[in-house]
Amino acid sequence: MPAGKNTDTSLETNDEKIRGRSAFNVELTPAGVVVSTVFVSDDEQVRPMPAVFPNLEYALNQIDALRSMVVNQFAQAAELGMKSLQAQQSEATFEDQDKAAK
């Protein structure tokens, strides 16, 4: 799902003017955190599009927002990993108790 600090934008392609906003698409995958930039039109169509930073201040604000999103994805991955380890530990403890009871 597109996320990020959005900016209203117009995109002109082949005599067609499209209004919408640019956004970062940040996803957690088994390979790691994947980041892409997209353009979300007013009719909610999502198109791949490179990020455009018109000035330094805007660029740094966007990079800070992206940094925060990436950190949150890694925090989510760590939380999922911890839950998985806890589930494995709980299962191992249950199996040990079951063996001891027999």
Q: Which domain holds residue 20?
A: 2-101
The token pair that represents 51 in the structure block: 């990020």
Starting at the earlier edge strand, list the strands of the sheet with 32-41.
2-13, 16-29, 32-41, 46-48
* pLDDT at 71 (0 to 100): 96
Q: What is the mean pLDDT of the chain?
A: 83
Asked if the model's pLDDT at residue 1 lies above 60, the reply is: no
The enclosing H or E element of 48 equals strand 46-48
Nearest in space to 25 (alpha carbons), one of 11, 15, 39: 39
* pLDDT at 78 (0 to 100): 93
Asked if the model's pLDDT at residue 60 lies above 90, the reply is: yes
Q: How many domains does the chain have?
A: 1
Is pTM beyond 0.75 here? no
CA gap 37, 47 in Å, rounded? 9
CA gap 6, 24 in Å, rounded? 8
Q: Is 58 helix (H, G, I), strand (E, B) or coil?
A: helix
